[in-house]
Amino acid sequence: MGPEERAAYWARRREEGREMQEAQLARLRAAFEGGRPRVAINCSFGASMAVRELSSLAKQVQLSYTSVRDLGAGVQLHLTSVDAGNPALRSLEAIGFRSWPMHVHAEPYWEAFRGERLVVLSPDAEEDLEEVEEDCTYVLGGLVDRSVSRMQSAEQARAQGVAAVRRLPLKRHGPLGAHPILNIDVVVRILIERLRRGDDWPGILSDCLPQRHSGQPTARCRRKRNALERKAAQQGAVDPGAALDAATDEGHSESGSDLDAPGSDPSGSGPEEACSSPQTVGLCG
């Protein structure tokens, strides 16, 4: 390729990049102005969270926005209860949320969407979410709590007279061992894919759930197991498998299984960082 051909090639690439960016911005504007369904992240729990948890909440909100952007989804994103007194506001501002095309409300979701069809998602709900409808507003609990407080989203919804409180159908359609508590951005992606792909819950959950929620060993678990296997082999164990199991059990009894410790994934964005489902959560009840 000569100099002129190379220059023409890179000019085409730049033009294609500009066109893709313009198309992406047009989709985001359309979603902001009239996208459906609405997805609202309920930030009313800010006062009950520590600084680290608030930072994790902001990160999950950012990842929710990037999911909508990168998937070209027509979902309209909202944040509710983001008033001047909410401690979550500082973390959201630190991550630059003012520049994202999403709707921000100072009032709680039951006031911001008064008269709308509300569906509150909570792992503590008694009924499964069956479908995603464009004329509904789906409310996700913006509660990142390393102690995994239960029932908060569900009880708040019932106190406000919200009849539809639903959980994702993980027990029926998710991978074996999938944890019911998911990060906010994961739930946003699941809603997007359910709207796109229809009633393929098993495929949607398999594709969207991070590996740490799938019931399968993560990369960190596999690395630890491989290291224990090498150590057992070097020590000349007669039965490396038995030695591995013993070493694993010993490590758990001494350390309290530090890999499963609450808060092991504070950012909510590293699916390979914990061997079991993390205790830092975005969708909590």
Instruction: Judge whether 21 lies within some domain.
Output: no
DSSP state of 75: P
Q: Please indicate, yes or no, if residue 8 is contained in any of the structural domains.
A: no
pLDDT, position 113? 97
| CATH code for the domain in which residue 127 is found | 3.40.1280.30
> Exposed, middle or buried: residue 188 (CB in 10 Å: 0-12, 13-18, 19+)?
buried
In a domain, 270, yes or no: yes
- Spatial CB neighbours of 272, under 8 Å, sequence gap ≥ 6: 211, 212, 218, 219, 220
Sign of CA dihedral 104, 150, 123, 146: positive
If one counts the domains in the chain, the total is: 1
Give the DSSP H or E segment for 230: helix 219-234
Q: pTM higher than 0.75, yes or no?
A: no
168 within a domain of the structure (yes/no): yes
Spell out the per-residue pLDDT of the chain, length 285, in tens. Answer: 888 888 888 888 898 898 888 888 888 888 889 999 999 999 999 999 999 999 999 999 999 999 999 988 899 999 999 999 999 999 999 999 999 999 999 999 999 999 999 999 999 999 999 999 999 999 999 988 765 568 899 999 999 999 999 999 999 999 887 888 899 999 999 999 999 999 899 999 999 998 765 555 556 666 777 888 888 888 875 555 555 455 444 443 333 333 223 333 434 433 333 333 333 334 444
**Residue 15 belongs to a domain:** no
Nearest to 174 by CA among 127, 206, 128: 206
Amino acid at 244: L
Tell me if 4 is assigned to some domain: no
**CA–centroid distance for 13 within its chain:** 33
Residue 12 within any structural domain of the chain: no
Question: Does residue 82 belong to any structural domain of this protein?
Answer: yes
Give the range of the structural domain holding residue 84, as residue numbers without chain letter: 28-285
